[in-house]
């Protein structure tokens, strides 16, 4: 069955989970999650699969082993492709993203080598500038200073500070999100993000997702 849109119940479910992130809330509302979040998200991803590849949906349970925050459930439903495209739904709406999320030390080394070079680095800067001018937000974890050995006047110092680099576009939970228009908007966003995703795969290797 084709994706027909999300429902108000999906956003209300996450509003409730933010207020009461407990096993009792989850147990009482699990059917709502399955019917109004997980199932439509899977249908949305299936609509995008032919062009972008299969989307793997994340489990709703948080990994608490190394976290001081012991709330058991994620307050969003996320999914990603093997290439580096990402999307998630939460109480506020929907977000589509693409890029480098949790690089290994070797991937980060390759990223900085490529971002620092005159050819691939200038290409990356042009991609980032183009996405920013198109309304995308550039995000990622960054060093407060600069990588060791990097001159303070390096022309791409801001890119070199990144320990992860991705761009994203979000939409609030407006009425159109209850329709198939969601597919069109995510598809268009991922197409705009493809140059960044492709650059990352060429120069750093496949993404490493840890969510």
Q: Which helix (H) or strand (E) holds 85?
A: strand 85-90
**In the numeric block, which tokens belong to residue 208?**
């490493």
Compute the chain's Rg from CA coordinates. Answer: 18
Domains of the chain, earliest start first: 8-204 (3.30.930.20)
Q: Give the largest CA-CA distance in the chain.
A: 57
Distance CA 109, CA 89 (A): 32
Note down pLDDT in tens along the chain; length 211 residues: 799 999 999 999 999 999 999 999 999 999 999 999 999 999 999 999 999 999 999 999 998 887 888 899 999 999 999 999 999 999 999 999 999 998 999 999 999 999 999 999 999 999 999 999 999 999 999 999 999 989 999 999 999 999 999 999 999 999 999 999 999 999 999 999 999 999 999 999 877 655 4
What are the CA-CA distances from residue 16 to residues 19, 32, 123, 143 (Å)?
Answer: 5, 11, 44, 35
What are the CA-CA distances from residue 186 to residues 23, 88, 96, 182 (Å)?
Answer: 32, 11, 6, 6
**In the numeric block, which tokens belong to residue 115?**
């971002």
Q: In the chain, how many H helices and how many E strands?
A: 7, 6
Q: 3-class DSSP state for residue 79?
A: strand
pLDDT for 209: 59
Distance CA 21, CA 154 (A): 45
Distance CA 144, CA 158 (A): 10
Question: Tokens 């479910």 belong to which residue?
Answer: 13
pLDDT for 210: 53
φ/ψ of 175, rounded to 5, equals -55, -30
Helix, strand, coil % (nearest 5) of the chain? 45, 20, 35
């Amino acid at each position: 069955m084709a994706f027909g849109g999300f429902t108000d119940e999906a956003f209300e479910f996450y509003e409730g989970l933010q207020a009461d992130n407990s096993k009792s809330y989850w147990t009482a509302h699990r059917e709502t999650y399955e019917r109004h979040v997980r199932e439509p998200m899977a249908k949305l991803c299936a609509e995008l699969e032919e062009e972008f590849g299969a989307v793997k949906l994340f489990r709703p349970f948080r990994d608490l082993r190394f976290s001081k925050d012991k709330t058991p459930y994620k307050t969003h439903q996320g999914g990603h492709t093997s290439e580096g495209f990402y999307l998630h739904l939460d109480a506020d709406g929907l977000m589509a993203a693409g890029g480098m999320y949790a690089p290994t030390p070797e991937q980060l080394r390759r990223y900085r080598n490529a971002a620092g070079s005159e050819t691939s680095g200038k290409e990356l800067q042009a991609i980032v500038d183009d996405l920013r001018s198109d309304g995308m937000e550039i995000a990622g974890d960054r060093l407060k200073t600069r990588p060791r050995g990097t001159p303070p006047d390096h022309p791409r110092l801001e890119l070199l500070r990144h320990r992860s680099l991705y761009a994203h576009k979000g939409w609030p939970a407006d009425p159109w999100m209850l329709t198939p228009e969601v597919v069109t908007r995510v598809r268009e966003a991922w197409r705009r993000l493809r140059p960044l995703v492709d650059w990352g795969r060429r120069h750093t290797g496949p993404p490493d997702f840890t969510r």
